[in-house]
Amino acid sequence: MTEIIIIRHGETEWNKTGRFQGQSDVPLSPEGHAQAALLGQHLDVDHADAFYASDLIRTMETAAPLAARLGLTVVPDSALRELHFGAWEGRFFSEINTEDPETLKHFYRDPEHANIPDSEDFSVFQKRIAGRVRTIAAEHRGERVIIVSHGAAIRILIADILAMPIRSIWHVSQLNTAVNCIRFEDDGFAVLTRMNDVAHLRAGTVQ
């Protein structure tokens, strides 16, 4: 059995103010750093064999405290990045909604067919994320691996594991520093065993 623990990054100012981040390299907010510290201190994991993260700063900053406690080096991996939102990157949700409410509504109801200029196709995005995670699982057979990635990336991975249509991804909650666990059997069969768990944040007060 191989265990993949995949965690969403901590809060950023763009999360707080409602902006599309995508592959823009946005650092954690002060609260995001506090969340990462609580994750590092209180996640109920006492060892792991490898640690990967998207190479963007918000994921690397989130990974650092937990990796330090476990004595691991974080491997940055661009294949674990968030969806590229194209022309929407850096823009406020409210701004897009004012300009083009139908396209934004379509994005949430049927993202695979949303018309976002210059954005990454959702089916390509799913193949990138799910393919990389399955490759990591195969390379670390019988081990426990921690990955820090992004909200949409984790949602679309869960959709792949559960054979859900891509249009369902926004029905899956992923809070900042949410912990998810996937068990891979030797034949590649995958089981989701934990989802959107932020119990570590209740172990202390986020300032």
Q: Which residues are catalytic?
A: 9, 82
155 is in an annotated binding site: no
Which stretches of 42-128 are assigned E, i.e. beta strand? Answer: 50-54, 74-77
109 is in an annotated binding site: no
11 is in an annotated binding site: yes
C-alpha 172/C-alpha 168 separation (Å) is 7
8 is in an annotated binding site: yes
Residues 6 or more apart in contact with residue 130 via CB below 8 angstroms: 156, 157, 160, 161
Q: Is 142 helix (H, G, I), strand (E, B) or coil?
A: coil
**CA quadruple 180, 130, 23, 173: dihedral sign:** negative
103 is in an annotated binding site: no
88 is in an annotated binding site: no
19 is in an annotated binding site: no
C-alpha 186/C-alpha 85 separation (Å) is 35
Residues that constitute the known binding site for substrate: 8-15, 58
Residues that constitute the known binding site: 8-15, 58
